[in-house]
Structure 1
């Protein structure tokens, strides 16, 4: 195969240099832990999740469709629309974080 890396035990394939298997496993563990605690999230985390949903879907999806289909930018237009949603989410989460900071600072 032209690779100088040692093979993965039990296979003839070379080991992945980035440890992709470990990364995928870690992501699944994180998703599982997140889902397990879905009903027990503190209110601040639930609000952040809602803000993220609003930023990506109602704010980001229409520009993605508009740029991708109506303006005929295809994949680049979809990416621009999703970037719009990402930027809106960043602004909303920053404002929410500042609001939480002000609330916690005003409490005795």
Structure 2
């Protein structure tokens, strides 16, 4: 499946992991993803649509009027495979970012 996406697309998954967005409550909206990834609005919409269709991301709880998104277990596995990471590498990334969030 990783052949379907390019490096810019994976920026979205990377930011969801970096921000520990792994549940409906811990999620980012389209504007937040646009700002974090520096991708255009149309590119973000396209990537979100593709990732939703393939199940790499899921819709989270609404943030006011905005839909939010978080990475699914399938998305984590896909990111891991695409970047040749181990389970431990992913857990470290999530744990590091969890600590960063708690310190703020």
What TM-score results when the alignment is normalised by the length of structure 2?
A: 0.27
Higher helix share: 1
What TM-score results when the alignment is normalised by the length of structure 1?
A: 0.26
Higher strand share: 2
Give the number of the structure with larger relative contact order, counting CA–CA contacts within 8 Å between residues 6 or more apart.
Answer: 2
Structure exhibiting the larger radius of gyration computed from Cα positions: 1
